[in-house]
Amino acid sequence: MRQKIPLFQRLLIELQSNCNRECFFCNRTFDTSGKRLDSNGKKIIKQMPTENVLRIMDEAVAMGFKGRVAFHHMSEPFLDNRIIDMAHEARRRGLRPYEHTNGDVLRNNKELCKEAARVFEYIKVGLYDYKNEDELNDEIAFWQDALQGTEVHFSLGGVVFPRTSTPEDERMFRAKHSYENAACIRPLFRMIIHYDGNVALCCEDMTDMFDLGNAFHQPIQDIWYSEKHIGIVKDLQLGLRERYEACKNCPMPELADASWFENKNKLGKKLKSIWKSMNIT
Ligand SMILES: C[S@@+](CC[C@H](N)C(=O)[O-])C[C@H]1O[C@@H](n2cnc3c(N)ncnc32)[C@H](O)[C@@H]1O
Ligand code: SF4
Ligand code: SF4
């Protein structure tokens, strides 16, 4: 019998491929594979067709998913003018839309800020340009006012860590190195679907290199519960990073980036129940 894994807790559907920034700490800035930037650094501009976005959400709901959904991966979601409509579509399906943004499209558009605050459960704004604490405080006050009506969180440019594609950079809060034998639970929590339908293993998987499948051509249930995905998830729970090229060299330590958990205190309990359901002790 096929051994199942728990359902994902978050769904990321990348609406489109573009971003207006080139942050020094972001994987996308250094990935010139042709997925989002070509070998000359030129931007790839592509959108996920609307019918596929809607169908993926329908499939997730049919799997029993009722959790949080966002419309970015390594891109800026507010560059796509379908963002508000897609968030409403998520709500109509009983899902809980949230979003991460660099804020550039929203900043001078009060109406869009209001619409976004109405539909997203929370918005995490990247504050990447402040030069001192006063500027940071001004930015926080600006966004709390502009996005009244929803929860506002912040991702600070001064608190960033090395990622798979980012070069060594002393502005980051830890050095870049790999974590041999460290368990990684990230593939279990998010289902990430790139703008072209390809499914990524985790946030470090910029180019869907694990070849898990394509959500335009296969039901997402088949991808999530595929032997291949389950095998990788189990290996990584056990710390077998050496089995996968990307994981072998991955700069993400065990659980250090567990910020997506609603309540970090429940983390141990959650992990234990996951291990139990997967027969891992
Ligand atoms: C890749 S961005 C995409 C959404 C949007 N463009 C933005 O900047 O919020 C998603 C999230 O990843 C965070 N992020 C990207 N690279 C990071 C790093 N090296 N350290 C910490 N957070 C990072 C961003 O701050 C943002 O909150
Ligand atoms: S962190 Fe966001 S804004 Fe910065 S380059 Fe990455 S996707 Fe773009
Ligand atoms: S070890 Fe790194 S590349 Fe592998 S699943 Fe975890 S975060 Fe992704």
Mutate to test the pocket of ligand 1, among 155, 165, 172, 250 (most ligand atoms within 8 A of CB): 155
Q: How confident is the model at residue 4 (pLDDT cuts 50, 70, 90)?
A: confident
Give the pLDDT of residue 259. 45
Alpha-carbon Rg for the chain, nearest whole angstrom, is 19
With a cut of 80, say whether residue 17 has pLDDT above it.
yes
Q: Which pair of structure tokens corresponds to residue 226?
A: 């595929």
The span from the first CA to the last CA of the chain, in angstroms, equals: 20
pLDDT mean across residues, the chain: 92
With a cut of 70, say whether residue 218 has pLDDT above it.
yes
Residue 266 burial (C-beta neighbours within 10 Å; 0-12, 13-18, 19+): exposed
Average pLDDT over residues 255-259: 50
With a cut of 80, say whether residue 248 has pLDDT above it.
yes
Q: How far is CA 201 from the centre of its chain?
A: 11
Q: How confident is the model at residue 277 (pLDDT cuts 50, 70, 90)?
A: low
Which residues are CB-neighbours of 263 under 8 A, at least 6 positions away?
none
Q: Check if 72 has its Cβ closer than 6 Å to any atom of ligand 1.
A: yes
CB atoms within 10 A of CB 270: 17
Which residues does a 6 A CB cutoff place in the pocket of ligand 3? 184, 186-187, 201-202, 204, 236, 241, 246-247, 250, 252
Q: How confident is the model at residue 269 (pLDDT cuts 50, 70, 90)?
A: low
Q: Lowest-pLDDT range, 154-168, 169-183, 251-265? A: 251-265
Please indicate whether residue 269 or residue 146 has the higher confidence score (pLDDT).
146
Region for 34 from its dihedrals, namely left if φ exceeds 0, alpha if ψ lies in -120 to 50, beta otherwise? left
Return the ligand number nearest the Cα of 123. 1
For the CA of 104, the nearest atom of ligand 2: 3
Distance 1 CA to ligand 1 centre (A): 39
Please indicate whether residue 131 or residue 1 has the higher confidence score (pLDDT).
131
Q: How confident is the model at residue 155 (pLDDT cuts 50, 70, 90)?
A: very high
Give the pLDDT of residue 276. 56
Give which of 205, 190, 200, 176 is closest to 259, Cα–Cα: 190
Distance, CA of 110 to CA of 155 (rounded, Å): 21
Query: Residue length, the chain?
Result: 281
CB atoms within 10 A of CB 27: 19
Q: Spell out a b/e string for 5-25, using b for 16 or more CB atoms within 10 Å of the CB, else e.
A: bebbbbbbbbbbbbbeeeeeb
- Considering the entire predicted model, what is its pTM? 0.92
Q: How far is CA 158 from the centre of its chain?
A: 20
Average pLDDT over residues 45-68: 98
Please indicate whether residue 132 or residue 261 has the higher confidence score (pLDDT).
132
Q: Which pair of structure tokens corresponds to residue 192?
A: 């990430």
Give the pLDDT of residue 281. 39
Q: Check if 100 has its Cβ closer than 6 Å to any atom of ligand 1.
A: yes
Which residues does a 6 A CB cutoff place in the pocket of ligand 2? 19, 21-23, 26, 28-29, 74-76, 102, 126
Give percent above pLDDT 70 in the chain: 89
With a cut of 50, say whether residue 208 has pLDDT above it.
yes
DSSP structure string for the chain: -PPP-PPPSEEEE--BS--S---TT-HHHH--SSSSB-TTSPBP--B--HHHHHHHHHHHHHTT--SEEES-SSS-GGGSTTHHHHHHHHHHTT-EE-EEE-SHHHHT-HHHHHHHHHH-SEEEEEE----SHHHHHHHHHHHHHHTTTSEEEEEETTS----TTPPP-TTSSS-----TT----GGGTEEEE-TTSBEESSTT-TT-TT---BTTTS-HHHHHT-HHHHHHHHHHHTT-GGGSHHHHT--PPTTTT-TT-S-GGGHHHHHHHHHHHTT--
With a cut of 50, say whether residue 239 has pLDDT above it.
yes
Sign of CA dihedral 1, 57, 94, 92: negative
Per-residue model confidence as pLDDT tens digits over 86-128: 999 999 999 999 999 999 999 999 999 999 999 999 999 999 9
Please indicate whether residue 256 or residue 46 has the higher confidence score (pLDDT).
46
Q: How confident is the model at residue 189 (pLDDT cuts 50, 70, 90)?
A: very high
Q: Check if 30 has its Cβ closer than 6 Å to any atom of ligand 1.
A: no
